[in-house]
Chain A
């Protein structure tokens, strides 16, 4: 059992970035360092160049013998323009006006965007509504033309123009800040700080602002890029700087005048503008990456060809079984580390049988179920093991081959029916697509088949349901529709992943009843995934109990309920002696399931076990037969023999 390499932070948690750590992470990246160095060089140029090259700004003609000189290493590195002025010198001198313009706009954006965004996100209510309304209004204005209007009133006033520009684009900052404040505001420690009697401004500055600073940095870089393009554009139009003073945009305009004689002249200023915008954008991206470093890189779900079956059971598939899972390992990837969530799970389902896969949250039951149809979310993949179905090992099939199996041989009913439908298409259309996929019938035939299916799941008005959008259905109705969808391909196995968890208690009973009836009529097998022993008692012939990624007990329902052979099962059933629906019951056993990546050596239940002894921590505990078709993973299982739950 290799758990040492697993990341203790798990795949779930991302600690809030502290600004110092953020800066540290940023500076660890070469790209970021290069970008920051570039910006610093620009700033130094902006300060020094107009002083060192003081004659350039007023220069309307350079040396007459160097008119339109070609770039050369000795005299004019980037050549000269039509008046013999050195291109490089003019770019240097023009840096100041560019940076001042961008700086003005960015300051305005920050001064407006950050406080308003913070206020809107933190206070909510009418403040939020007003701020949102105002920013929507600003957003609807034709920005550049409004700036032109300002320039018509205040000719050549860069301050006025760039301030106006900053105001007009500030909604982008308001939105970003507001959206990133919203979740923080709800967090506990803010509530705690408020309860401690701290003033709101204090909370905002000390607790909220640091958390959104990352988002602000990223957005600032974007805004700076935008402002640079706007500023150089206005210079290009000759509206910001009086000739002959140089500016980057103005130099593009000068070059455009000479585009036929000297096409070279547009390149230096253009490339300088584009590179500077790129560097700004890059710094934004790198900062964001540094901020979200703790998150897993989203790799598209892929199944790896099985290497070797690891685990304590590697026997052949049960010949009579519909589905045989053998030694299944499932891992999720995070920052190069693998975290195993399913560890050597094996079980069989007979045709027409209902098998309960039972366990608490985080025990690996959904991952087990989803790996059967090759639809593990995110970075999940099958690391080892086999999934025999219809004479084939599903774990080795390509996505294309699995595609033939899904819906037709094995169908899935998901935990949240509502989100399992495309919100933008009517139910009828979504079901018809699946019917036609599996049956190759005409549109009309598909439609009547859809109505038929909807009637089979006992929806009172199939036509009305078919004409509805998913959000117009109740949870119970949606789950019936989801069941109808699962039936469309006439599968021999249905995987029902917590099919009733999201529903009201009364609806739950109806859905279970429906599943039972359908199963009786059609003879399909059901793999029922649940945390609810009541559902197991009502529905299943056999149960497989999972704990921390492993099977810890399995067997036919009656003996498991009457005489559980694992302390975990026993503990749970003792708390619910009659197998009564237990979703409201208090945890019967103190402690919690260890998270994936934090599984202890030895028995994974030992910290919560009343029977635990020293040996329990020593090595891998095997899954041992304990009677007819029963197994339990406990060293002291024999002590439970004959005891009643």
Chain B
């Protein structure tokens, strides 16, 4: 996982296979990053993601709920087609738009 700020937007780049094994290693780091005040939106970038299963959906929905309380948007970017298929099945785009 890598992150950067573009003005007041926090960009989080995920890498490799986003499954239970990966998510449990990065979840706390992501929560620390998104807890920072002054962020207007958070973007998950999937450019370098080779695989995602429902654990990745749980990561998104879990962060979405935390950010919703602070009215911070969560956006999904550079979603490859194999990841898109999982996302479309789950309806995640109805709360976290694809950009």
Chain A complexes with chain B: no
